[in-house]
Amino acid sequence: MTALSVSTSSAASLRADALVIGVAKGPKGIVLAPGAEAVSEAFEGKLAEILSTLGATGAEGEAVKVPSPAGLKAALVLAVGLGDTAEGSYELEALRRAAGVAARALAGSKKAALALPAESAEETEAVALGGLLGAYAFGTYKSGGGKEPVGELILLSTRKGSKDAKAAVERALVVGEEMNRARDLVNTAPNDLNPKGFAAIAQAAGKEHGLKVEVLDEKALLKGGFGGLLGVGNGSTNPPRLVKVAYTHPKAKASLAFVGKGITYDSGGISLKPAGHNETMKCDMAGAAAVFAAVVSAKRLGLAVNITGWLALAENMPSGSATRPGDVLRMYGGKTVEVLNTDAEGRLVLADAIVRAGEEKPDVIVDVATLTGAMMLALGSRTFGVMANNDELRSILHAASGEVGEQSWPMPLPPELRKGMTESTIADLANMGERMGGGLVAGLFLKEFVAEGIDWAHLDIAGPAFHEGAPFGYTPKGGTATAVRTLVRFAEQKAAGGKA
């Protein structure tokens, strides 16, 4: 992974392959952002003019390279756009994305210095995290490893020695590393990551970071009556797993349960997906990857909160032993579900895990899942939906996602949509309901398995979990690690005594 360091050296004196500055769109042309002063002096005050001549506008996502003059030790100046700005004010997400653009543009370089606005601890963290996420590269299957990411990012900051800046950089390192771990998991080919393999990775991380990890294999799941996980995993030669990853803190006053959907490959089962919908289904474990990364982040950051992650892992395949449409599964906890569509499998594995998580009486359960195509139709490919049985909790999670730069939108759980699921003539519930509002129906199904008295929220990350287009900002093509930052911020709030 790309190394990150902080320096108080002047931009002019620092030796690097490239020196990164920020430019914004001002009312009369481009505006140089704080951090670019020494660079501008080396260009005799004509840097903004030169950049404008080269076509720079300061728009977000823009990257313009200029050879350095004699007054700079770095060989190249890279100007990245920050977008529209108020006088001297820069959005944290704009800084994250600009740093990410810079890191992507400088792939293959050994050392790059980031002279972007970093005058507060929040700005320092945003630049550091954006740079680390933008430098991400997954070259596991490339001959020769693919193009190397930038080797080292040096964050130029006048706040290097301050306590809050040090904490900000440490937080960026932890969250960045764990998000990139989640991205690796999502990007790994499904023939190399099955439920057993994912569980082994969790066990290894538990040993490394001092987390308590328990794994229920297929025999333990059968003995315990986990009909959802077993029903989904029946068709595969790779049996399911339920993994518990627990972090406790001696001063914790709140307990959280994060539950992640971990379908390591989703063919749709007997209700086979149509051609063109299978190729990216290795990403159907992105919820479990996000939960795993969030719990490890909480441990590494030492948050004063107890968190248990539940990874509901299975492979959904068609075979002679696969669950059929029309089968009835007895879920963990005793409820029965008539399976009308085997491609609505995520809610089945999550239901088992939610019931199990509820037995430990956490204050809050949050599940994360690439659950429905309907949510993508509703919110697009960059925004995830937030549903909850508590309006305040839904609002808190929606606000938390915005604070850390993840796009989400609060969604309702209309009670009238529940009827379609409860009309099964042979079981307590069906795993399908009305077609319209399918993302909300899935949320209502999960709600049926939440123990009374426990606040619960559901994050449907189907849209933003896997990016199929060209990279932008700090977001690569492939796995994105969506929801990790939201979960970590929520955990931080609870550690600080926040409500709900």
Model confidence over 328-371: pLDDT tens digits?
A: 999 999 999 999 999 999 999 999 999 999 999 999 999 999 99
Q: What is the pLDDT of residues 18-32, one digit of tens each?
A: 999 999 998 888 999
Which residue ranges does the chain devote to CATH 3.40.220.10? 3-158
Question: Minimal CA–CA distance to 24: which of 106, 74, 91, 77?
Answer: 91
pLDDT for res 22: 95
Choosing from 241, 347, 418, 485, the catalytic residue is: 347
> Could you tell me the two tokens for 406?
């993840």
- pLDDT band at 8; cut points 50, 70, 90: confident
Instruction: For residue 145, count CB atoms less than 10 angstroms from its CB and return exposed for 0-12, middle for 13-18, buried for 19 or more.
Output: exposed
- 3-state SS, residue 349: helix
CA dihedral over 470, 476, 478, 482, signed as positive or negative = negative
Mean pLDDT of the residues in the chain: 95
Alpha-carbon distance of 265 to 284, in angstroms, equals 6
Alpha-carbon distance of 328 to 191, in angstroms, equals 29
Alpha-carbon distance of 38 to 116, in angstroms, equals 12
Alpha-carbon distance of 55 to 43, in angstroms, equals 17
Q: At residue 254, does pLDDT exceed 80?
A: yes
Q: What is the average pLDDT across 180-188?
A: 98
Q: Is 330 a catalytic residue?
A: no
Q: Taking a C-beta distance cutoff of 8 angstroms, is the pair 242, 202 a contact?
A: no
Q: At residue 85, does pLDDT exceed 60?
A: yes
Query: For residue 460, what is the enclosing H or E element?
Result: strand 455-460
Q: At residue 164, does pLDDT exceed 90?
A: no
pLDDT for res 10: 86
pLDDT for res 88: 63
Helices assigned H by DSSP within 12-113: 37-42, 47-53, 92-105
Q: Is 347 a catalytic residue?
A: yes
pLDDT for res 160: 61
Choosing from 196, 273, 382, 477, the catalytic residue is: 273
Q: Taking a C-beta distance cutoff of 8 angstroms, is the pair 153, 135 a contact?
A: yes
- pLDDT band at 87; cut points 50, 70, 90: low
Q: What is the pLDDT of residues 428-472, one digit of tens each?
A: 999 999 889 999 999 999 999 999 999 999 999 999 999 999 999
Q: What is the pLDDT of residues 397-415, one digit of tens each?
A: 999 999 999 999 999 999 9
181-495: which CATH architecture?
3-Layer(aba) Sandwich (3.40)
Q: What is the average pLDDT across 214-218?
A: 98
Look up the pTM and report it: 0.96
Q: What is the average pLDDT across 157-177?
A: 86
Which residue ranges does the chain devote to CATH 3.40.630.10? 181-495
> Could you tell me the two tokens for 483?
């929801």
CATH of range 3-158; options 1.10.357.10, 3.40.220.10, 3.40.190.10, 2.40.50.420: 3.40.220.10
Cα–Cα separations (whole angstroms), residue 6 to 65, 79, 450: 23, 20, 46
Rounded to 5°, angle at Cα 488 from 379 and 494: 110
